[in-house]
Amino acid sequence: MRQSHHQGILGQDAEANYFENQTGGKEKEVNRPIVNRLPDGAAVADAVAVAVLEKLASVLQVKPQAHFVVTGGTVGIASLASLARLDDGSVDWSRVHVWWGDERFVEKTSEDRNAVQARSAWLSRSAVPESNIHEFPASDQGLDLQAASQLFERELARFSSADAAYPEFDLLLLGMGPDGHIASLFPGHEHSSELVVVAVEDSPKPPPMRLSLNYAVINAAAEVWFTVAGADKADAVSVAFGDDPESLPVGRVAGKARTVWFVDQTAGVKTWGC
């Protein structure tokens, strides 16, 4: 991955379509990552929330609906709490569909579920219609893991174009683990590229059974934003911006139009010295 040096909230160098190559010439690179470096996790959460409001409002100016994928984890849920607090009424939430990048395959009311945490932090106070909230199936809904993955593939297909198996999401948020995993796609765990939804039976991080969007679905999103904070993420961030980013799952994904990082000082210290 290549990085820009923008340090403020999203958007200041969004039109930059070139980077200087090592010989000093110009080389096309439409989708280089934009990096927003923030003081701490709270600042990351607030910056993400403000940028989400701006982005979704912009999408809805030109499209009848927006498809928005949220993430769990400490920073992801904090970002949703900030979204609830900072919502300025600029987004018509009745036209926004909410999805998740992954989910723990546990009971529907379990606090381990990303959806339960997202409802508590944001959705319970938002104007997003229940019919626009697309949760992964839960373990107590009468389905095994494989059947649950197939059911959710059908849900994705309902909102796709005629020739696609899933929507092209307008905005997809991702956290990142200390090991460089994103969603529930972990290092050393390969999945068939034919799968839309991955049924993870042996997650190295509990609980072991999970459902996750596969790489192709994530990479079909118009914009992918990473929300990262904490010193334990510093090594993985340095790999993502190093010479062999694809050695980790985080280095294998990017938005079709734009990829944005929101990183706090402790997570970025080994990459930018911040």
Q: What is the pLDDT of residues 241-257, one digit of tens each?
A: 999 999 999 999 999 99
Sign of the C-alpha dihedral computed for residues 71, 75, 79 and 82 taken in this order: positive
User: Which residue's entry shows tokens 């900072």?
Assistant: 86
36-65 pLDDT tens trace: 999 999 999 999 999 999 999 999 999 999
7-32 pLDDT tens trace: 344 443 322 222 222 233 333 344 68
Does the pTM of the predicted model rise above 0.85?
Answer: yes
Average pLDDT across the chain, whole number: 90
For position 274, what pLDDT does the model report? 61
Please report the domains of the chain, with CATH numbers, ordered by start residue: 37-272 (3.40.50.1360)
Spatial CA neighbour of 65 closest among 118, 119, 134, 163: 134
For position 164, what pLDDT does the model report? 86
Q: How confident is the model at residue 4 (pLDDT cuts 50, 70, 90)?
A: very low
Who's near 52: CB < 8 A, 6+ residues apart? 68, 79, 83, 171, 173
For position 226, what pLDDT does the model report? 99
User: Which residue's entry shows tokens 């229940």?
Assistant: 130
Averaged over 214-239, what is the pLDDT? 98
For position 31, what pLDDT does the model report? 65
Q: Over the range 186-205, which residues count as b (16 or more CB within 10 Å of their CB) and which as e?
A: beeeeeeeebbbbbbeebee
Which residue has better confidence, 31 or 201?
201
For position 270, what pLDDT does the model report? 97
Q: What is the percent of the chain with per-residue pLDDT over 90, rounded to a whole number?
A: 84
What is the radius of gyration, based on Cα positions, of the chain? Answer: 18
